[in-house]
């Protein structure tokens, strides 16, 4: 079945992203640590975990593009080879045109095969 309506990733407004990130950093830098909880401990924890995952994924992809293997990246980032292969597979899945559309895939098999070639 051919997909005629491919969902495209919307334009990324890097200026807004920078502004939003700067707003967050300004708030962290200007608020005494004991008052950060006034905003919501749950919100700050969620932000921290999300930011950590995004930063790790960015690092994994950049290291792979620099020529490192999944094993090398895993050792450098302190993660498993499977986690690195997952970040790389997820990145290619989200990039239009990076990989051709195909029928439903077995994700575990795909990640395993991807990790083996890295």
Domain ranges of the chain: 41-117
pLDDT at residue 99 in the model: 46
Ranges under pLDDT 70 in the chain = 1-10, 36-37, 93-118
pLDDT, tens only, 45-60:
888 999 999 999 989 9
pLDDT at residue 100 in the model: 47
* Sign, Cα dihedral of 21, 27, 29, 32: negative
pLDDT at residue 51 in the model: 92
d(Cα 92, Cα 41) in Å, to the nearest integer? Answer: 33
pLDDT at residue 1 in the model: 43
Rounded to two decimals, what is the model's pTM? 0.61
pLDDT at residue 95 in the model: 61
d(Cα 1, Cα 4) in Å, to the nearest integer? Answer: 9
d(Cα 95, Cα 21) in Å, to the nearest integer? Answer: 23
């Amino acid at each position: 079945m051919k997909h005629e309506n491919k969902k495209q990733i919307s334009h990324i407004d890097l200026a807004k992203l920078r502004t939003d990130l700067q707003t967050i950093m300004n708030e962290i830098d200007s608020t005494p640590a004991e008052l950060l909880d006034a905003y919501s401990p749950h919100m700050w924890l969620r932000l921290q975990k999300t930011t950590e995952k995004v930063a790790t994924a960015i690092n994994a992809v950049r290291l792979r593009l620099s020529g490192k293997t999944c094993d090398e990246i895993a050792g450098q980032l302190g993660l498993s080879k499977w986690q690195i292969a997952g970040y790389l597979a997820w990145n290619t899945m989200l990039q239009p045109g990076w990989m051709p559309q195909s029928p439903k895939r077995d994700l575990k098999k795909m990640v395993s095969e991807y990790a083996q070639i890295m």
